[in-house]
């Protein structure tokens, strides 16, 4: 059977959606499926095309030049989609609000090819509030009519499905396919941490509060930074490490806030860390924090658990109950004081940290891993194709 994935962006800086597409596609190919991925160079703010090679090593991977920002319009895309969809048994669309997805859905209807949509949190009430008027008008006229014609919706968590169906009426039947965490490099945490400290020797011997992900307004960094000012009062031997890419003006705003609060010497911006460097940063950490305003799943949370960290996350991260009930992390409110208090609980109690790390590994083995994700996704595909 041939599956075609359509997604507006696959650059690694784009976060979880490209990771899901890649990991599931690799496993589908290994199990005999015919898979191709069609995307654009949206979010690839670099001259080199080297980022594409990793994908092409595993499956057919087609990239088109895009215009108009995240909408990802490409004049060459429609003809390519029509050719690929005409040879497909099922098309899997990822995210919303983009030209590639809307065009692919139109072609699927014309050619009578079934398609599924994975919105990746974009039908969450918090997400719909951003650019509210624009989304309301565009959604009513263009987005929701084609979404309602899909064969199914694919969500990463039951809470994502609940919020989506609460926000938009008439959505197709929803299936839950969670995400997983890659295996860490085959080295001890001590070795990986040592490699990180070789790059940043000023951090050696300090407790590190780590944030990993896109530096974006929805991630709650406006809460984490003032919270860290309070955390420093409990122990001056602490450093905040912000790992991830971000839009230039937004990142500058974070720098300005840190300077205003007076602890710029206690914060490290590493930029995007890929492959082994990411695991080195996690291994060096003491606690991972994500006080996000909205996350359909939060891949970085399971990566932090894989990296051996207890996690602090807000109750807007849809997997927060899974994590806290398993004992792998603590939940905080969307307030700097709550974020700070929760972080300090872990910083002051190594026994509590060790227990959370062990519980996190158990949760990954039982629930949040790519093998389980693939098996669930494959079963959904088979059921839809059979129907």
Q: Are residues 20 and 149 in the same domain?
A: yes
Average pLDDT over residues 179-187: 94
pLDDT at residue 48 in the model? 81
Q: Are residues 206 and 337 in the same domain?
A: yes
**How many domains is the chain partitioned into structurally?**
2
198 pLDDT higher than 90: yes
20 neighbors 121 (Cβ within 8 angstroms): no
Q: Are residues 9 and 154 in the same domain?
A: yes
Please state, in angstroms and rounded to a whole number, the distance separating the CA atoms of residues 312 and 323: 9
64 neighbors 37 (Cβ within 8 angstroms): no
- How remote is the C-alpha of 21 from its chain's centroid? 11
> What residue numbers bound the domain in which 102 lies?
2-180+369-386
Instruction: For residue 81, count CB atoms less than 10 angstroms from its CB and return exposed for 0-12, middle for 13-18, buried for 19 or more.
Output: buried
45 pLDDT higher than 80: no
Q: Are residues 247 and 155 in the same domain?
A: no
For residue 24, give the 3-state DSSP assignment.
Answer: helix
69 pLDDT higher than 90: no
Q: Are residues 195 and 160 in the same domain?
A: no
Q: Are residues 271 and 318 in the same domain?
A: yes
Q: Are residues 172 and 242 in the same domain?
A: no
Q: Are residues 197 and 316 in the same domain?
A: yes
- Helix 16-30 with 370-386: angle, nearest 10 deg: 70
Q: At a CB cut-off of 8 Å and minimum separation 6, what does 325 contact?
A: none
Please state, in angstroms and rounded to a whole number, the distance separating the CA atoms of residues 35 and 223: 41
Instruction: For residue 376, count CB atoms less than 10 angstroms from its CB and return exposed for 0-12, middle for 13-18, buried for 19 or more.
Output: middle
168 pLDDT higher than 90: yes
pLDDT band at 79 (very low <50, low <70, confident <90, very high): very high
Q: What is the secondary structure of 230-298 as a DSSP string?
A: HHHHH-SSEEEEEES-B-HHHHHHHHHHHHHHT-GGGEEEEE---HHHHHHHHHH-SEEEE--S-BSS-
53 pLDDT higher than 80: yes
CA 329, 331, 243, 73 torsion-angle sign: positive
pLDDT at residue 301 in the model? 98
The token pair at 125 is 């009430």
Average pLDDT over residues 158-182: 97
Q: What is the secondary structure of 220-248 as a DSSP string?
A: THHHHHHHHHHHHHH-SSEEEEEES-B-H
Q: Are residues 127 and 196 in the same domain?
A: no
CA R_g for the chain: 21
pLDDT at residue 15 in the model? 86
Q: Are residues 60 and 205 in the same domain?
A: no
What CATH number is associated with residue 304? 3.40.50.2000
pTM greater than the 0.75 cutoff: yes
Please state, in angstroms and rounded to a whole number, the distance separating the CA atoms of residues 147 and 133: 19
DSSP state of 65: -
Determine which helix (DSSP H) or strand (DSSP E) holds 115, and give its type and residue range: strand 115-118
Please state, in angstroms and rounded to a whole number, the distance separating the CA atoms of residues 301 and 288: 8
For residue 202, give the 3-state DSSP assignment.
Answer: helix
293 neighbors 220 (Cβ within 8 angstroms): yes
Any idea which residue has 């494959």 for tokens? 378
Q: What is the dihedral of CA 304, 378, 42, 80, to 10 degrees?
A: 170
Any idea which residue has 């039947």 for tokens? 173
- How remote is the C-alpha of 112 from its chain's centroid? 31
Please state, in angstroms and rounded to a whole number, the distance separating the CA atoms of residues 127 and 169: 16
Q: Are residues 169 and 193 in the same domain?
A: no
188 neighbors 144 (Cβ within 8 angstroms): no
Please state, in angstroms and rounded to a whole number, the distance separating the CA atoms of residues 79 and 258: 49
Q: Are residues 232 and 262 in the same domain?
A: yes
pLDDT tens-digit readout, 303-339: 999 999 999 999 999 999 999 999 999 999 999 999 9
């Amino acid at each position: 059977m041939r599956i075609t994935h359509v997604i507006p962006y696959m650059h690694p800086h784009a976060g979880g959606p490209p990771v899901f597409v890649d990991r599931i596609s690799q496993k589908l190919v290994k199990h005999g499926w015919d898979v191709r991925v069609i995307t654009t160079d949206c979010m690839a703010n670099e001259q080199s095309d080297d980022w594409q090679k990793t994908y092409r090593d595993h499956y057919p991977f087609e990239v088109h030049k895009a215009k108009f920002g995240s909408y990802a319009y490409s004049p060459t895309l429609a003809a390519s989609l029509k050719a690929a969809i005409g040879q497909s048994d099922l098309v899997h669309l990822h995210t919303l609000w983009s030209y590639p997805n809307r065009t692919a859905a139109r072609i699927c209807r014309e050619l009578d090819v079934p398609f599924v949509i994975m919105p990746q949190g974009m039908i969450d009430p918090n997400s719909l509030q951003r650019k509210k008027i624009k989304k309301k008008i565009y959604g009513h006229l263009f987005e929701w009519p084609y979404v309602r014609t899909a064969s199914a919706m694919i969500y990463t968590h039951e809470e994502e499905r609940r919020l989506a169906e609460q926000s938009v009426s008439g959505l197709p039947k929803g299936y839950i396919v969670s995400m997983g965490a890659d295996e860490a490099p085959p080295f001890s945490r001590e070795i990986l941490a040592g490699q990180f400290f070789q790059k940043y020797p000023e951090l050696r011997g300090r407790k590190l509060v780590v944030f990993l992900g896109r530096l974006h307004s929805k991630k709650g960094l406006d809460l984490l930074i003032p919270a860290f000012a309070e955390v420093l009062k409990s122990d001056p031997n602490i450093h905040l490490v912000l790992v991830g890419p971000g839009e230039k003006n937004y990142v500058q705003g974070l720098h300005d806030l840190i300077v205003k609060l007076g602890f710029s010497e206690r914060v490290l911006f590493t930029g995007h860390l890929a492959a082994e460097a990411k695991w080195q940063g996690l291994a060096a950490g003491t606690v991972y924090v994500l006080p996000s305003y909205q996350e359909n799943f939060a891949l970085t949370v399971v990566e932090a658990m894989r990296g051996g960290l207890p996690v602090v996350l807000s109750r807007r991260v849809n997997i927060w109950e899974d994590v806290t009930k398993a004992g792998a992390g603590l939940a905080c409110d969307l307030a700097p004081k709550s974020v700070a208090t929760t972080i300090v609980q872990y910083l002051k109690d190594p026994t509590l940290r060790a227990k959370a790390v062990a519980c996190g590994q158990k949760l990954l083995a039982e629930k949040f891993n790519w093998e389980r994700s693939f098996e669930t996704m494959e079963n959904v595909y088979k059921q839809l194709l059979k129907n």
